[in-house]
Amino acid sequence: MKKWNLIVDVDNCTNCNGCVLACHDEHFENDFPGYAAPMPKHGHSWIDIRQKVRGTSPVVDVAYLPVMCQHCDEAPCIAAAKNGAASKRADGIVIIDPAKAKGQKELIDSCPYGAIWWNEELQVPQHWIFDAHLLDAGWTEPRAQQSCATGAIRAVKVEDAEMLRIAEEEGLKHLNPELGTKPRVWYANLDRYTSCFIAGSIETEAKGIVDCVEGARIVLKRGGEQVQETVSDNYGDFKFDGLAEDGASYKVEISHDRLGSKSLDVKLKDSVYLGAISL
């Protein structure tokens, strides 16, 4: 059977909050019985765009990560809910029924993604419902996709085998896969948010003139094993990305046919810019 999945491209999210505003517009003061009670005017972000700044000046990048209900196939909220208050539909969408879930504040803590919100006034837990009410009315996409100007959000309804093929082809990943919840939200370029980088600039000096070094070979090693290799660009810059934030020790080996070689040791806990490296 075909089921809904959401694909979020971290590279394309600019934190414009179009999806956030669309969600508020859809649910504030609007009651959809069986789907969702009205969202409060303030305090809730059913689509929560999180920010991560990596690196130090002058090499800095910012990644934005939209986090919403992951519509997990092994959803902790369903296991924690009483009286069938949370359930998974045949099309893969998880619904927390606002009537059945009334008073069940414990559902907030059941979600490891922090994607369930407590409505104090109505005393109900709430989440992003994938706009199931609209899809059931014939819509072909949720408003989060419709409102995304950069195409960072894309909903697809396919069989599970086809979704796995798409994930393999596009390099999609789950957020916190170690949780074992089997989400139906997939992320492209997730490393922009979950990993770190080593960057630097290579230069040389002759007769008092400093110049950029293009074409230097830079090899990154961990535990004596090569993990990445690159070449400096015409500004002398290089960058190794997608590295784990685990405090590992790396060796950066730089070589140039004419200018010689140099190596640096780096203990990586966060993204780092090594500065100008002279050959």
Q: For the chain, give percent helix, strand, coil, nearest 5.
A: 20, 40, 45
CA distances from 18 to 23, 116, 144, 198, 274 (A): 9, 20, 8, 32, 37
Mean pLDDT of the 90-110 span: 97
Report which DSSP code applies to 136.
H
Task: Please determine, for residue 72, whether its predicted confidence score (pLDDT) is greater than 90.
Answer: yes
Q: What is the pLDDT of residue 183?
A: 98
Residues comprising the chain, all counted: 279
What average pLDDT is seen over the chain?
96
* Structural domains of the chain in order of their starting residue, each with its CATH number: 3-193 (3.30.70.20), 196-278 (2.60.40.10)
Max intra-chain CA distance, the chain: 80
- 66: helix, strand or coil: strand
Report the C-alpha gap between 226 and 198 in whole angstroms.
14
Sign of CA dihedral 246, 249, 251, 252: positive
Taking alpha carbons only, the member of 62, 92, 95, 108 closest to residue 157 is 92
Q: What is the pLDDT of residue 205?
A: 92
Give the pLDDT mean for 80-101: 97
Q: Which residues contact 133 (CB under 8 A, 6 or more apart)?
A: 32, 35, 36
Distance CA 199, CA 250 (A): 12
Is 141 buried (19+), middle (13-18) or exposed (0-12) by CB count in 10 A? middle
Half-sphere exposure of 262 (CA within 13 A, CB side): 13
In percent, the amount of the chain with pLDDT more than 70 equals 100
Instruction: Tell me the average pLDDT across 182-204.
Output: 96
Report the run of H or E that residue 223 belongs to, with start and end: none
Percent pLDDT > 90 in the chain is: 96
> Is the pLDDT score of 56 beyond 90?
no
Scanning the structure block, which residue is given the tokens 């960057």?
199
User: What pLDDT was estimated at residue 146?
Assistant: 96
Cis status of the peptide bond prior to 66, with omega within 30 of 0? no
pLDDT band at 245 (very low <50, low <70, confident <90, very high): confident
Q: Which of 225, 222, 227 is nearest to 267 (CA)?
A: 222
pLDDT tens digits, one per residue of 37-52: 999 999 999 999 999 9
- Is the pLDDT at 201 greater than 90? The verdict is yes
What CA–CA distances, in Å, run from 248 to 98, 235, 245, 265, 266?
46, 28, 8, 11, 8
Please report the DSSP string for 110-124 in residue order: H-TTS--EEETTTTE
10 by DSSP, 3-state: which? helix
Predicted local distance difference test score (pLDDT) of residue 207:
85
First to last CA, the chain: 60
> What pLDDT score does 57 carry?
87
With residue 16 as reference, give the H or E element that holds it.
Answer: none
142-162 per-position pLDDT tens digit: 999 999 999 999 999 999 999
How many CA atoms within 13 Å lie on the side-chain side of 44?
A: 26
